[in-house]
Amino acid sequence: DGVHVAPEMARLALRARLPAGGLVLVSDAMAPAGTDSVEATLDGRPLRRDGAALRRPDGGLAGSAATLLDGVHWLAGIAAIDPALVLAMATSAPAARIGARAGSLLPGSPADLVWLAPDLSLRRVWRADSPLK
């Protein structure tokens, strides 16, 4: 997200572990992720959004407001990695690591789908075969 991992370290890790399957992309986003909220709380303590970061009043990092899709955009952009490879790192690679059938369109896999435009912007989401608004 550019906060927890610096671009230089992401590039180094990618060079060391390509192709996909060696690395997985995850998000530890907190509640404000995907919203316009600039304030949040953690255990009753105030947090303030600073780009992708959520910070305590003293400026210390409390967490991330970056979604998994934000991570896909960031990684594809900073490392100029093929978007298909980055998407595999966010879908089929982590699913394979835990032995799940998610992240693929194989028979018997969960029918949860995300439709992305060529620029990786979100077009639509289906959860259990039903479109979400």
Residues 6+ apart with CB under 8 A from 15: none
pLDDT in tens, the chain (133 residues): 777 888 888 888 888 876 655 788 888 888 888 888 899 988 899 999 998 899 999 999 998 999 999 999 998 887 677 888 888 888 888 888 888 776 667 777 767 788 999 989 999 988 876 666 5
| Torsion sign (Cα): 46, 49, 54, 56 | negative
Helix or strand holding residue 121 (H, E): none
